[in-house]
Structure 1
Amino acid sequence: MESTKVLRTFGDFFTERGHHQITGSTLRPEPGDPVLFTTSGMHPLTPYLDGRRRHPQRRLTNRQRCLRTTDLEEVGDRTHLTVFEMLGSWSLGDYSHEQSLRWGFELLTEGFGLDRLYVTVFGGNDELGPDLDSERVWHELGLSVERLVDDNWWSNGPTGPCGPDSEIFVWTGDTEPEGTPSTDSRWVEVWNHVHMRFHRYDDGLLRPVTPPNVDTGMGFERLLMLLQGVNSVYETDLFEPWTEHVNRLWHPDERSFRLLTDHLRSSIVVIGDGVRPSNTGQGYVLRRLIRRCLTTLYRLDPSYGLEELPVEVIEHTTGHFGQPDDPGSIRELLLDEERRFRRLIDRGRDRVLRLHQRGPLTETDFTFLHETHGLPREVVESVLPV
């Protein structure tokens, strides 16, 4: 099932069940929002989920691009991306959590043809008992259930909306399913259904919300990986132009290919949403993504550079995300940032050599190079002689 058909199948399923399709927002939150970037599909809907605003529709669905810097160190495995998309559905005080679970099962099995599913539910703690209602629904649908605690309690922070959730996993192993989601990593999470039926207040107490909301989020790229029967998100049709050009241009090993592809693609999306490189805030995240990419590229071969990157992959990326930016201007911005980085390395090489003459670099040296000369540790260790 190609990516365009997956998006259409998801959207049609919920539209047919009375959900209003809303347009996913950019990666940049509204002014005044304390987070740098949109980190989840539900983030733009937070004012409606916590009761600050009232939405004219009670059933919603969308496709939202997100960015998480917390996953940067995990990029390079088969499922994590810096910029990714979430497919979401919401009930704002309308239908029940149990109905959401049944629809989720129907779409995954009948709409997408997935099988070998396993689910986890909230197993209870000192405040609340186990989520027996969700467990009952899953058993009625014929699925195995694992009870967990922290992994199946959703919250958006120390206070605010919260509640138990059900996570749906798909078996990706070559053998018959083994173990459970918490004991075997071949169970890959694809969809989370949150029952937002509580609010935690400043005094730490939980109080029920009436009526409760339902929030679901499904990783689009992971879903594609499962539907297309490939080993990683990078092998789906969504990444075909990147696979062709990155491998042909720079001949990276698998992990380097994934990091180069992820960071370049993410940088293009961030630029397309209006962010420009800087030393603070959103611009610093963009600069860090570009420089992590360049560090990987130079480690492969110091002669490699972004000059070889064709406009085609930029056009493919901005087209998929529906961004209006001119691909040529995005490419020029990337090249300008590379030129800045090369000058930084040229200036830093002599400073690093002088420090290294005294012996191996210390933590104090790394801190000095970063704070005084803008040379992150990963750059010093990977690109400059130490």
Structure 2
Amino acid sequence: MAVAEVLIFVPSVARFRVDNLQSRLELAQLAALAQLATPDQQEVAPALERQLLKTADIFNVVLRRQDVRELALSGEMPQMPSATYNLLETTDVELMRDAVAVFLTPGDRVIRVIGRAELGDQGEIEITMSEGPLRKAMIAYGLRILYVSLAISLATAALLFIAVRHYVVKPISRVVRHMTAYRDAPEDSSGIIEPSNSIRELRAAETALHDLQLQLTKALRQKDRLAALGGAVAKISHDLRNLLTTAQLLVDRIEASADPAVRRTAPKLVASLDRAISLCERTLTYGKAEEPAPVLADVALAPLLREVAENESLATEGRVPVTISAGTGIAVRADADQLFRVLTNLVRNAVQAIETSEKPGSVCIRAARPSPRPTGRRTSSCETPAQARPSPRLSPSSQTLI
């Protein structure tokens, strides 16, 4: 801002100085023309000559015609000229330098000015004058420029302040208010900002904040629902564990039954109850159905498949036959409980699909070791759980890792 003021002030003052000197030259020319208009046999009265010089505010006037210098008017000079300025041979840079020198030079100097008159017989004219009145006029002009510049600066600052407050501060304050309101009550959807600014950058910021608040509100609501669901599951698991514990006590008494069928079914029921109780305990411990790290061991597939088939056959009461086909000595390295649950879910889904279709069908589970060379023969047919026999002792060479 200061640099701009200097770039405007210095040329303006230089132009004012040139105009002031040019007006002095014109006044001096008029005074000289008045003297030259006097008949040759008459001389200008000294009082009139002094009045002409005083009106033009100069000490003397010299006219230059055809390389001849003619003293038109002459008066008393307090001192010899300290500087000479030729307005005919001065560049713009020299004019600005001379204008600045007027402010920096102390005292009231006498200067000589050479220029061209613009009135009547246009020719060069030379005057001698005091620099004091010129300095006062330039100082007054500079102060006017200063006041005008100050008024323009204040008006510009006021307009800039209003514009910044209206287009920047108020929109940002609105964003901050919505952020603060959302911080205090993130579950309240009324605190979510609605993009409305017409400035592209600020509208992009409001849109980003709007999307962020929507995502956070959605995540918080989902978290609340999951927390409520976890609490409900924990309560249900607690009650279910108590019921299963009671059922386990009753099954222990069933094992003492004399009926062979009941005694054969009791161990499977006990195993199912143990799995259910273990799942409830893990749910209560972790607050969700979190699976522990699998306990890998060699699991014989034939007994496991037979247990799955028998459980599902009992559940469907024979409506959908469940058969197995497991080669002898086939084993996998896995977690027995997790593998049992996976196979149970697969078989149950298949049974439900058959029942939903209302068409006859059956479920067959086959397990066989992969043959290194295809034989072109089909695997053995499935057998019912009653036909299956326990597999012999597993050998390391007959195990398959999955």
What TM bracket, shorter-length normalisation? Answer: under 0.3
What TM-score do the two structures reach when normalised by structure 2? 0.17
Structure showing greater radius of gyration is 2
Higher relative contact order (CA 8 A, sep 6+): 1
Larger proportion of strand: 1
Larger proportion of helix: 2
What TM-score do the two structures reach when normalised by structure 1? 0.17
